[in-house]
Structure 1
Amino acid sequence: MAAAQQVLVVGETLVDIVHTPDGLVEEHVGGSPANVAMGLARLSHDTVLATSLGEDPHGTRCRGHVTDRGVRIENLDAGDHPTSTAIATLDDSGAAEYEFDLHWDLRPIHRLDRFAHVHTGSIAATLTPGAAVVAQTLRDARAHATISYDPNARPTIMGDVDGVRPRIEELIALSDVVKASEDDVEWLYAGRTLPDVMAAWGRLGPGLVVITRGGDGVTYRVTATGETAESPARVDRVTDTVGAGDSFMAGLVSGLLDAGLLGEAAARARLAGATLGDVTGAVDRAMSTSAITVVHAGAYAPTRDELPADAATTPQGRGPQ
């Protein structure tokens, strides 16, 4: 049973517009934070998404898609801007060229004390001017809530790596849990090993650092003991990998909330002192949610009922104290 704690996700919602070689055009609601919010709601967590949508058909579609999956939306006003889009033009090999039309000018989020946990990541955390509001939201929320962050690097949007790295590290320092991909780490710290980067991030503040490695599974590290572990991928077949990382993030946060290692400021200390055994159940849930996602086309978010029995229950660990 999910804990009755409100979760806030802050970040972009956009429409992916895909042009295929045969002339077809398909549109899908996306955006990494929006996917995480829908994933958490589908796992029975009370979830609010603070985002920005225009008063246009794309905005209407996004609102319906997100709310149909159980998420409440706030901060919808995009001013005079349209809803953000990502146009992908596919060639005959399936490779895509992207053209982005992004607008991220978030208003301050009121009544933050409603929320026991706050998640952010991806474009919203680095794209100005809204990124400043995102960072301030995390600072303000830390007094009463735990924080999770997924850099989800987009090099073509985020610009020069030397310029964006300090901003990402600032957000890591505000976070209790950080999940990144192996590709994120390679872009941010070319030539450095995963253990080196995970240890460096742990020294900045997070109690748990998790690196996803595609078909090679995940590597994770708890800061309290410096222990690391690996979990193999659990995928028998793949339809596509769209949204798999976001589904993993939702499953990880869900598992840690259920285990009492996220949610409210007191959980920060519990996670800061956690052992590998305390967090393994949450990582297992994340592996299960992402494994279900890749079987489906698009950014499918599984419900708790779809998870294996051992991943659907409260992970083994300390539990709320």
Structure 2
Amino acid sequence: MTATVPPLLVMGEALTDVIVTPTGSRRTRPGGSTANVALGLARLGHPVRLATRIGDDAPGQQLAGHLRCSGVKLTDGSITQAPTSSALARLDAAGSATYDFDITWNPAPQAVDPLRMGSPSHLHTGSLATALPPGAHRVTAAVEQLRRTATVSYDPNPRPALLPDRAEASARVEGMVALSDVVKASAEDLAWLYPGASLLQLAERWIRTGPALVVVTRGEEGAWACWRNGHSRLPPSRVDTVVDTVGAGDAFMAGLLSGLLRTGLIGSGSQGAPDAEATRHALREATTPTHLTDQLAQALAFAARVAALACTRQGADPPTLRELVAGGRS
């Protein structure tokens, strides 16, 4: 990425993860699905701004410092006087997490105001930021306006404990899918949103509503990539030891976006000026063949490697590009 390329914009929640191990010990880590994606993109060498809501308290100061230390810039208004939100993540013996949340998603209007965003080349959002009122309505409105000059990616990442109405949640997700160019969802997400439905059929249905690429992650079983004229199973990237899976899906999302950015399939492309329609055309062309093109295959393999390395660490701690290169993984 060159300095002339408008920064990427991520909109969504940032919070503190309180991680409880199977033995009952606790540790705190900065987290939040969208904040994790912003962090991952910054560590992979991309200029990133995060529009969020972080309290001006001790956890918030730690969280903001953690993000800034990796190069993430917060939009004006992202720091508030309200308490920082948190998530209690309980790990099982395999390192998988279940969550309980104490969150308020009510960002300051100026933090998510499209008129203050300049012209980002790509916008990513998802999870609680697109599901919880009143902030979700502001985020959706911003996406509708910014997608005129930016490509859009989305990860629904629903949290059932906070979304008791499945039908309403599904309708909101489908509305965001239709506004997006790239969508990533986990098999677990889709199983909750559409109990008993075929993952591939759901992905293919979403493709018909707008996005050029839908990726369904399946943990240890890898992922499915779906596009208008085909689909492909993606093998997982193996690691010797899994510490936990906290933030693994967000690391995959950051890796996928990084791979697509570097091939000019999202963002502003090589010319540096926002031209969403030209880039969307390039992405549609890359997803026209019945087989997986080299560009997409490389981006998806890169995403799998980023997620795999993230699983070797505690909490949401995505790797840097230098670490991937040093490990022979780029």
Return the TM-score normalized by structure 2.
0.87
Check conservation: 1:251, 1:285, Cα contact below 8 A: yes
The residue identity in structure 2 corresponding to 1:229 is S
Match of 2:248 among 230, 244, 249: 244
Check conservation: 1:288, 1:308, Cα contact below 8 A: no
The residue identity in structure 2 corresponding to 1:176 is D
Match of 1:151 among 153, 156, 162: 156
Please give the alpha-carbon distance, in whole angstroms, between the structure 2 residues aligned to 1:194 and 1:76.
39
Match of 1:274 among 281, 286, 292: 286
| Deviation of 1:86 (Å) | 1.7
Residue 40 of structure 2 aligns with which residue?
A: 39
Residue 272 of structure 2 aligns with which residue?
A: none
1:261 matched to 2:278? The reply is no
Check conservation: 1:206, 1:272, Cα contact below 8 A: no
Give unpaired runs (5+ residues) of structure 1: 313-321
Match of 1:178 among 177, 180, 183: 183
1:295 matched to 2:312? The reply is yes
| Deviation of 1:175 (Å) | 0.3
SS in 2 for 1:220: strand
Change (3 A) 1:97 1:46: closer
Q: How many matched pairs?
A: 310
Change (3 A) 1:147 1:82: same
The residue identity in structure 1 corresponding to 2:136 is A
Please give the alpha-carbon distance, in whole angstroms, between the structure 1 residues aligned to 2:100 and 2:62.
20
CA RMSD in angstroms comes to 2.4
Deviations 1:215-248 (A, max 9, x none): 000100122xx21111111123211111111000
Change (3 A) 1:236 1:311: closer
Match of 1:168 among 167, 173, 192: 173
Change (3 A) 1:112 1:272: farther
Runs of 4+ residues deviating >6 angstroms: 89-97
Residue 202 of structure 1 aligns with which residue?
A: 207
Check conservation: 2:29, 2:316, Cα contact below 8 A: no
Give percent identity, aligned residues only. Answer: 44
Change (3 A) 1:208 1:311: farther
Deviations 1:279-301 (A, max 9, x none): 11110110111111111222121
Check conservation: 2:95, 2:243, Cα contact below 8 A: no
Please give the alpha-carbon distance, in whole angstroms, between the structure 2 residues aligned to 1:292 and 1:31.
19
Please give the alpha-carbon distance, in whole angstroms, between the structure 2 residues aligned to 1:66 and 1:177.
24
SS in 1 for 2:286: coil
Moved more, 125-134 or 299-308: 299-308
Give unpaired runs (5+ residues) of structure 2: 269-275
